[in-house]
């Protein structure tokens, strides 16, 4: 059977936010310390302690936002310990990740410097689990107030006269678990309270993100939406015929986004990142596709309180999770990254693209040396993983208009299970070029695909890049850092506005189409 994709280029209306392609760094293992942060006295080339090679690699994929300081770490982090002269900062025990002692040398100033070097938006996650309302309020004031105040003056004393811009702020993390083991009703009240004091100063406009559910906890979503959208519903249902600019509007709980966390893993039996057979390939592809069901179902719950989709789903933790590599610290979560992870990333990003009416931001976990990392380091050496290359291949979707597509494809059968062979998304940028990203989930068979592009002049050029390898577990190592990377794909036939290709087994393909 030939797979068929039908695209009507005139039907696109929703924009794929660039923030879907966001990232995440946590004080966990070697993500920050001995990862992106080496200190300004390191022989490894750096700018104010931040590795230059990592910054350049991330700028190349147009990283749009970066989440910090966690993760579970966020609800144990007290920001004032991470400011001022580094030699005076108190050490702390990282109780979440291995009870290692940290020196707090990477704090607010260092993170904001990193974001400025990357030209990316900071996404700060505040401490609800063990922090106070005052602590959160003061952190926002410290970062963003341009004037005379205790916190602004403290920032200036620490060397930053001008305030930073902070676009995204998360009010707690996983408060159903490591962030306090709260009931949904308890967190809803906490959110309503804490977010009140996440203020906008000096023209800075913060988009507030509430802690959302773990996986399929639809009760959590229902409670948070119900309790945090009450005043919004009352205002919407009001019989007033004039705009309301009263204290009602000012004080009502504000929630731009609701987070969702989902990892592709087997909770009962964490498996190896590199040693697996086809049964585990198939299982992890199934688990990856489950993201589509989660987003659909949570969005349906949210529609009851927010039918206009003003509140976004923020998938700020996602990715694959395996057992740590042998010989490494079990709480540092260091794992290799294979072609299987490239497929997991490609399929997941396609799902986010296709749900861009509700999904407005996402953050893969994590950036360096932790879980489904884009970059691995070993001393001064650095390598790019297959997942990094997927982000590079997909970057043209950022802020482009989603093109809905009709996809007919065969099933990939294994044992008693079946999943669609082809997974895809498409978009059109402001220059009129169309980008299509495809994944072949079958590790054994190639797939012929025919595309019908309607509503445009004839095709003038088609360019494509592919990521694949004969081995399911192909990965880059420090001995062979370029084992798997994208290459040009030329097996493309064009006739008018029809395209046909043969998509190799276990591959990710990115196509760019220009028109006459």
Residues 127 and 257 both lie in one domain: yes
CATH of the domain at 26: 3.20.20.80
* 206: in domain: yes
Residues 137 and 197 both lie in one domain: yes
Nearest alpha-carbon partner for 97 in 36, 178, 4: 178
Residues 357 and 409 both lie in one domain: no
* 7: in domain: no
The predicted model gives 5-15 an average pLDDT of 94
Please state, rounded to an integer, the average pLDDT across all residues of the chain: 95
The predicted model gives 510-516 an average pLDDT of 95
Residues 351 and 442 both lie in one domain: no
* 5: in domain: no
Residues 88 and 203 both lie in one domain: yes
The answer, yes or no, to whether residue 235 has pLDDT greater than 80, is no
pLDDT of residue 38: 97
Residues 380 and 452 both lie in one domain: no
pLDDT digits (tens, 9 = 90+) for 239-259: 445 454 444 344 446 899 999
CATH of the domain at 503: 2.60.40.1180
* 3: in domain: no
Element (H, E) at 170: strand 168-171
pLDDT of residue 268: 81
Residues 74 and 111 both lie in one domain: yes
Element (H, E) at 418: strand 417-420
Contact present, 225 and 210 (Cβ < 8 Å) = no
Q: Tokens 């990316």 — which residue?
A: 120
pLDDT digits (tens, 9 = 90+) for 178-196: 999 999 999 999 999 999 9
pLDDT digits (tens, 9 = 90+) for 291-322: 999 999 999 999 999 999 999 999 999 999 99
Domain termination residue (choose one: 363, 398, 433): 398
pLDDT of residue 513: 97
Residue 237 pLDDT class (50, 70, 90 cuts): low
* 10: in domain: no
The predicted model gives 13-25 an average pLDDT of 98
**Lowest pLDDT segment from 222-226, 266-270, 274-278, 500-504:** 266-270
Contact present, 155 and 142 (Cβ < 8 Å) = yes
Q: Rounded to an integer, what is the distance from CA 240 to the centroid of its chain?
A: 40
pTM above 0.85, yes or no: yes
* 6: in domain: no
pLDDT digits (tens, 9 = 90+) for 466-484: 999 999 999 999 999 999 9
Nearest alpha-carbon partner for 137 in 171, 176, 181, 90: 171
Classified as helix, coil or strand, 222 is: helix
Domain termination residue (choose one: 366, 398, 430): 398
The answer, yes or no, to whether residue 77 has pLDDT greater than 80, is yes
* 8: in domain: no
- DSSP tally for the chain: helices H, then strands E: 11, 28
Range of the domain at 296: 18-398
Residues 52 and 103 both lie in one domain: yes
pLDDT of residue 188: 97
Domain termination residue (choose one: 345, 374, 398): 398
502 or 236, greater pLDDT = 502
Q: Tokens 């009507």 — which residue?
A: 8
d(C-alpha 306, C-alpha 313), whole Å = 12
d(C-alpha 38, C-alpha 78), whole Å = 22
Residues 324 and 371 both lie in one domain: yes
Contact present, 249 and 235 (Cβ < 8 Å) = yes
Cis-peptide, bond into residue 71, ω within 30° of zero = yes
pLDDT of residue 458: 87
The answer, yes or no, to whether residue 231 has pLDDT greater than 80, is no
pLDDT of residue 328: 96
- Determine what percent of the chain is predicted with pLDDT higher than 70: 96
The predicted model gives 93-119 an average pLDDT of 97
Residues 446 and 303 both lie in one domain: no
Q: Tokens 């063990």 — which residue?
A: 130
Count up the domains in the chain and report the number. 2
Beta bridge pairs of residue 487: 466
State the virtual CA torsion across 47, 49, 51, 56 in degrees, nearest 10.
-40
* 282: in domain: yes
* Sign of the Cα pseudo-torsion (338, 72, 168, 214, in order): positive
Q: Which residues are catalytic?
A: 174, 317
pLDDT of residue 249: 47
Residues 106 and 140 both lie in one domain: yes
Contact present, 172 and 179 (Cβ < 8 Å) = yes
Cis-peptide, bond into residue 366, ω within 30° of zero = yes
Classified as helix, coil or strand, 73 is: helix
Residues 394 and 411 both lie in one domain: no
pLDDT of residue 247: 41
């Amino acid at each position: 059977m030939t797979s068929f994709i039908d695209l009507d280029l005139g039907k696109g209306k929703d924009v794929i936010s660039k923030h879907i392609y966001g990232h995440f760094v946590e004080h966990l293992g070697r993500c920050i310390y001995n990862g992106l942060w080496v200190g300004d006295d390191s022989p490894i080339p750096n700018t104010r302690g931040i590795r230059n090679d990592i910054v350049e690699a991330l700028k190349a994929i147009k990283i749009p936002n970066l989440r910090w300081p966690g993760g579970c770490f966020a609800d144990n982090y007290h920001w004032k310990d991470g400011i001022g002269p580094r030699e005076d900062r108190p050490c702390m025990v990282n109780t979440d990740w291995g009870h290692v002692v940290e020196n707090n040398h990477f704090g607010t100033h260092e993170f904001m410097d990193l974001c400025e070097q990357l030209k990316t938006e900071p996404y700060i996650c505040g401490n609800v689990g063990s922090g106070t309302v005052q602590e959160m309020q003061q952190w926002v004031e410290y970062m963003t107030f341009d004037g005379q105040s205790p916190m602004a003056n403290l920032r200036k004393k620490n060397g930053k006269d001008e305030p930073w811009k902070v676009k995204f702020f998360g009010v707690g993390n996983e408060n159903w678990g490591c962030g306090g083991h709260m009931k949904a009703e308890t967190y809803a009240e906490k959110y309503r309270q804490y977010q009140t004091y996440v203020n906008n100063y000096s023209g800075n406009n913060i988009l507030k993100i509430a802690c959302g559910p773990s996986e399929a906890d639809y009760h959590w979503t229902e409670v948070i939406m119900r309790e945090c959208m009450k005043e919004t519903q009352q205002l919407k249902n009001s019989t007033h015929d004039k705009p309301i600019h009263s204290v009602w509007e000012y004080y009502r709980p504000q929630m731009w986004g609701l987070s969702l966390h989902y990892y592709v893993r087997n909770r009962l039996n964490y498996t190896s990142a590199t040693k697996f057979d086809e049964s585990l390939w198939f299982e992890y592809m199934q688990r990856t596709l489950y993201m589509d069901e989660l987003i659909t179902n949570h969005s349906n719950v949210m529609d009851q309180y927010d039918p206009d989709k003003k509140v976004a789903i923020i998938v700020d933790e996602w990715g694959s999770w395996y057992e740590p590599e042998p010989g490494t610290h079990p709480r540092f979560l260091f794992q290799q990254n294979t072609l299987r992870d490239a497929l997991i990333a490609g399929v997941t990003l396609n799902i986010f693209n296709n749900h861009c009416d509700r999904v407005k931001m996402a953050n893969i976990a994590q950036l360096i040396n932790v879980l489904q990392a884009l970059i691995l380091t070993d001393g001064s050496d650095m390598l790019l993983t297959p997942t990094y290359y997927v982000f590079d291949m997909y970057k043209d979707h950022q802020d482009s208009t989603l093109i809905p597509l009709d996809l007919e494809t065969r099933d990939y059968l294994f044992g008693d299970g079946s999943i669609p062979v082809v997974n895809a998304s498409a978009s059109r940028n402001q220059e009129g070029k169309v980008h299509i990203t495809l994944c072949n989930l079958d590790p054994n068979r190639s797939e012929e695909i025919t595309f019908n592009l309607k509503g445009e002049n004839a095709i003038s050029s088609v360019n494509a890049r592919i990521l694949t390898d004969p081995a399911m577990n192909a990965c880059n190592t420090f001995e062979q850092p370029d084992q798997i990377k994208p290459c040009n794909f030329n097996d493309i036939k064009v006739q008018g506005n029809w395209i046909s290709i043969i998509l190799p087994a276990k591959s990710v393909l990115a196509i760019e189409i220009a028109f006459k």
